[in-house]
Amino acid sequence: MLLVLLAAAVNVPLAVSLFRSRSELQAGQTLDLRGADAAPRGWPSSTPHDDPWPSPTYWLLTEAFGYREYSVMAADAETNTAYGMDTQRYGWPLPVIEQKMMWWDWDDPALKGPEPDPAPALLATGLIGNPLLVGTAVFIPPVLAPFVLVVLRRAMRSRRGDCPWCGYDIRDLDCCPECGNEAIRSADQPTGTSRPPPG
């Protein structure tokens, strides 16, 4: 629980620091799709109008650590209107802050009203998901390690013909006289074989 709280404490500050230093981010891989390949990707964020925007005809993704930028555009052939959205998301491993800018025919009365450059918004998926993902990833290995060691030790004892639970030599026995547990034979350790002398 402490690890989850610690991850939550650094979650938003990390995203804010990436947001402030976005001009210094070194962009990594990009995905550039056009035409029919762009349409299935859809718009990276919610569109501001009641009527859905047409499917994208241009879709570009640029990535860096803790940063994703989507540049998406479409053209409506019926109304001869162009639509565009530039969405930047900050945070790791899931985005926490989203900033977007949008373009459309601002003179069209049917498209009046929404703000084309809304203020940066916090994303619930990152606010909740990042602490859980990071806290769990850090918490699981030290908790599982003792169980893994116990399983490995029991497997090694069984291969030697010893009792997996207490280590007593039960090579020729069906039940451990030390702890009372039933003998578990591995495939390569048949009953009736004698242990080689030490040394």
In a domain? residue 138: no
In a domain? residue 182: no
Q: Would you place residue 18 in the very low, low, confident or very high pLDDT band (cuts 50, 70, 90)?
A: low
In a domain? residue 149: no
In a domain? residue 102: yes
With 80 as the cut, is the pLDDT of residue 199 above it? no
Q: Are 12 and 130 in contact (CB under 8 A)?
A: no
In a domain? residue 105: yes
pTM: 0.65
With 70 as the cut, is the pLDDT of residue 24 above it? no
Output phi, psi for 36, to 5 deg: -65, -25
- CB-based contacts of 22, cutoff 8 Å, min separation 6: 67, 88, 90
- Where do runs of H (alpha helix) occur along 53-162? 124-160
Q: In what order do the strands lie in the sheet with 30-34?
A: 30-34, 58-64, 67-76, 81-90, 97-103, 121-122
| 113 phi-psi bin (left φ>0, alpha ψ -120 to 50, beta other) | left
With 70 as the cut, is the pLDDT of residue 191 above it? no
**Lowest mean pLDDT, pick from 21-30, 111-120, 159-168:** 21-30
pLDDT digits (tens, 9 = 90+) for 86-136: 999 998 889 999 999 999 998 888 888 888 999 999 999 988 888 888 778
pLDDT, mean over the chain: 82
Confidence at residue 6, expressed as pLDDT on a 0 to 100 scale: 59
Q: What's the number of domains the chain is made of?
A: 1
In a domain? residue 184: no
In a domain? residue 9: yes
In DSSP terms, 199 is beta-bridged to none
In a domain? residue 144: no
Q: Which residues form the domain of 119?
A: 2-132
The arithmetic mean of pLDDT across residues 2-31, rounded, is 64
